[in-house]
Each structure stands twice: as C-alpha cells, then as structure tokens.
C-alpha cells in the first residue's frame, strides 16, 4: 500500500534495517539485509516469486539462517513463500534456502484483509492510491509538497462523501502532476514509472479485500519449526479538534485530512461475514493492549485485529508508517538542506512523519519495537536446525 523499497536513492526501509543491524551487532552477530524490489500492487503470488528469487540469489550456500520480515502486504508475500502448501511458478532448486529459514515476521500486515483494498480496487480508489503513493515519496524525501499543491489536494480529498464517492478525479490527477514536477527530471521519471506500475497491475488490491483473504487463510499453511511473530498497531481515531488544529498548516492539513479519510474507509468492516479477524483476536489482543481496541480500530490502512498472526511481540499506538521509523522528530538544521536537495534517505537519526495520525509515536517506542523484533530473530537463530525450533 503506497510503499516502496528504494526509489530515486530514497531508502524506505533505512530506519528499520539500520536498527536491526545495530541490535545484531550488539549481540555479537552479523546481519545482512536485502530489500525486495517488487511491483507495488502486483498479486501476492507474483510478489512472492520475486521474494523467493531474491533470497535464492543472495543466500549463498552456507549454513547462515534466513529471516523474512514483511511490512504490510510484504508479510503476506513472506507467509506465502514459506508455506509448505504454496505452489509458485518457480524452479524447485530456487527454494532450497527454505531449509535454512528461521523466522517470518509480519508488521501491520492485513492477514484477514482490509476494507481499504476494496476501495483502492475502484476507479476512484486507484486514482487516490496513485496520488497517495506520490505524496508518500515526496513527503518523506522533501519533507512537504509545495503549499499550493497541498492546499488543492486538501480540497480534493474533502470531496469524498460518506459513501466514499464523488472523488474529484480531475483535481487529483492535475495536482499529482503538479507535485511530480517539483522533482528533478531523472527522479520524476523514476517515480512516474513506479506510479505507472500501480495502474498496470492491481492484483494485490483485489487479493487484499476481506473476501479474498478469507480464501488465502484457508490455503496458506505455516511452515513447521520456524518462528512466526507479528507487530500490531492501532492509531487513535481521528478527532475534529485534531483536524481543526492541523488546518493552520497546509501540509499538516493535507496529511490529517488524508489520514482521516483512510482511517474512516478502513474502519468500515463487515463484522458479520468478513470481520477481518480470527475468532480469538479479541482474546489475544486483550493480553497485549491495556484497553482492547474497538472492532473498527486500525492504523490508517489495516484493521488492528487483522494484523495478528503468530506470536505478538509488540503492540501499541502507531500508524501504518510509524512502525518503519517514519514518525515526527526534530530535523537537525545542518542536515535538512542537504538531505532534501539530494532526495536521498534522511541522515542517521533523522525521522520524518508522513501521516499525521496523532499517535505520538516516538524514538523510544520505535526502539522498543526494534528490540522486540530483534530479540525474536536472535532467539530463532540460536537453534541449529529449523526443526528444533
């Protein structure tokens, strides 16, 4: 969902990989990380094949253990690759590394689907996904879009009525083009190619609907002997007071309006037929949250109860991008101009918020989240063979 690996030198997962490497090093272990470059909204099966191919090409022939970590849809890619029941169009010898697989970690993953995917599969939703994807790159790499474009997009998103209809598509298209023009030509072309991939293959959007994920769950099995762990996030429900406060700044106004829209769509769960949750989700979440999240609780993209698979190692207040290190934090004055001009990853320790959700997620919470993930990975690696885990 509007995420990427590395785009125009901006590394989307830099905070995550850096934090995990540091924790492995502190434990006397060496961690090699590889970010999988997949078509953003291609089918889970196609993405899983790309994941399998990347692991095969980087794993070598040694005995080092392998960990798969997936954020959002990436968690489903990882589960499908690891599943003994999976039938993927890939040569069997390219899956030999599965004998060295130690863990599968999923972060904010829609294991039981998300209503947002149902909307993104519509014409209006596809245009909105295109715009949000452009905003994600520009928001993270530049810190904020041009104010005029931001103000126009606030108007466009405000056109969404309660039935999620009436999107002003011409405004959305025109303003997205205006946003991309602020990028230098080479970067603009690369970003446009990425965005065009969204319009060419919408397989994942259809597959991530609650109805389709109901079938996914019936056919994908856990691989015996490896660790399955997950992180679960719930953002605070949008409030009128927070939205009014954000209107004082066009960029925060756009971000808050967008988050409010995404949160509202994601909360529209069919609690009877497709509840986006396992039968025991409430009982499990009741053990990790001080106050049990409501049925419509979500991180702005994925219902909270849909994120549960395996052992919950961390749960807390965060939005969909907070958990990757994209949260609000002061930017050192000497780092800001260079970083924005180069369109590269923020300097070490610099975090930029893209979704204004009001979660108040910060460095201390990110550190606890990274500690939890690393602890699970290190513990699973300690077993000499997957079958002994």
Query: Of residues 118 and 148, which shows the higher confidence score?
Result: 118
DSSP assignment of 86-146: ---SS-GGGGGGGGGEEEEEEES--TT--HHHHHHTSHHHHHHHHHHHHHHHHHHHHSS--
Name the burial class of residue 284, with classes exposed (0-12), middle (13-18) and buried (19+) by CB atoms within 10 angstroms of its CB.
middle
Question: Tell me: the pLDDT tens digits for 301-323?
Answer: 999 999 999 999 999 999 999 99
Task: Provide the 8-state DSSP code for 371.
Answer: H
> Which whole number is the average pLDDT over 259-274?
93
Q: Quote the CA–CA distance of 140 and 205 in Å, as a whole number.
A: 23
Whether residue 264 is predicted with pLDDT greater than 80 in this model: the reply is yes
For the record, the structure tokens of 252 come out as: 């925060």
For helices 147-158 and 169-180, angle between their N-to-C axes, nearest 10 degrees = 160
Instruction: Name the least confident of 18-22, 243-247, 348-352.
Output: 243-247
Give the DSSP H/E element, type plus range, for residue 312: strand 311-317
Interatomic CA distance for residues 187 and 143, integer angstroms? 16
Portion of the chain with pLDDT greater than 90, in percent: 54
More confident residue, 351 or 56: 56
Kindly state the average pLDDT of the residues 1-6: 80
Between 126 and 269, where is the model more confident? Answer: 269
- Confidence bin at 95 (pLDDT 50/70/90): very high
Write down the pLDDT at residue 388: 40
- Single pTM value for the model: 0.89
- Which element (helix H / strand E) includes 228? strand 227-234
Of 280, 281, 279, the residue nearest 297 (C-alpha): 281
Tens digits of residue pLDDT in 73-87: 999 999 999 999 999
CATH topology of domain 6-388: Rossmann fold (3.40.50)
Cα dihedral 198, 199, 201, 205 in deg (nearest 10): 70
CB 142 within 8 A of CB 7: no
Distance (Å, rounded) from C-alpha 99 to C-alpha 384? 11
**Two tokens at 34?**
């590889």
pLDDT confidence of residue 261: 87
pLDDT > 80? residue 159: no
Find the mean pLDDT for residues 287-305.
Answer: 93
In DSSP terms, 76 is beta-bridged to: none
Q: Which range has the top average pLDDT, 198-207, 275-284, 307-316?
A: 307-316
CA–CA separation, 213 and 49 (whole Å): 19
- Mean pLDDT across 267-278: 94
Rounded distance between C-alpha atoms, residue 210 and residue 265, angstroms: 13
- Asked if the model's pLDDT at residue 216 lies above 90, the reply is yes
């Amino acid at each position: 969902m509007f995420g990427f690996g590395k785009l125009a030198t901006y590394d989307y997962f830099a905070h995550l990989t850096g934090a995990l490497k540091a924790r492995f090093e502190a434990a006397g272990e060496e961690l090699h990380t590889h970010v999988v470059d997949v078509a953003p909204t291609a089918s889970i099966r196609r993405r899983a094949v790309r994941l399998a191919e990347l692991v095969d090409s980087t794993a070598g022939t040694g005995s080092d253990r392998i960990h798969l970590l997936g954020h959002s849809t990436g968690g489903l890619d990882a589960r499908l690759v690891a599943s003994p029941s999976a039938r993927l169009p890939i040569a069997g010898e390219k899956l030999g590394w599965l004998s060295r697989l130690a863990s599968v970690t999923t972060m904010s993953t829609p294991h039981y689907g998300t209503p947002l995917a149902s909307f993104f599969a519509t014409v209006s939703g596809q245009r909105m996904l295109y715009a949000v994807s452009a905003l994600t790159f520009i928001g993270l790499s530049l810190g904020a879009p041009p104010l005029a474009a931001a103000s126009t997009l606030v108007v466009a998103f405000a056109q969404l009525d309660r039935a999620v209809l009436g999107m002003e598509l011409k405004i959305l298209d025109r303003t997205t083009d205006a946003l991309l023009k602020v990028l230098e030509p080479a970067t603009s072309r690369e970003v446009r190619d990425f965005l065009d991939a969204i319009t060419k293959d919408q397989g994942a959007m259809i597959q991530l609907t609650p109805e389709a994920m109901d079938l996914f769950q019936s056919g994908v099995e856990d691989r015996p002997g490896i660790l399955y762990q997950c992180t679960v996030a719930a953002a605070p429900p949008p409030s009128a007071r927070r939205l009014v406060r954000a209107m004082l700044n066009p960029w925060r106004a756009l971000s808050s309006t967008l988050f409010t829209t995404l949160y509202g769509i994601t909360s529209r769960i069919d609690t009877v037929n497709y509840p986006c949750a396992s039968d025991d989700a409430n009982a499990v979440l009741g053990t990790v949250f001080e106050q049990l999240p409501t049925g419509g609780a979500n991180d702005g993209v994925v219902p909270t109860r849909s994120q549960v698979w395996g052992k919950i190692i961390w749960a807390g207040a965060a939005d969909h991008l907070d958990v990757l290190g994209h949260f609000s934090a002061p930017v050192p004055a000497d780092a800001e101009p260079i970083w924005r001009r180069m369109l590269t990853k923020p300097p070490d320790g610099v975090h930029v918020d893209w979704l204004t959700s009001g979660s108040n997620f910060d460095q201390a919470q990110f550190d606890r989240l990274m500690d939890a993930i690393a602890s699970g990975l290190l513990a699973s690696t300690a077993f000499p063979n997957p079958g002994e885990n």
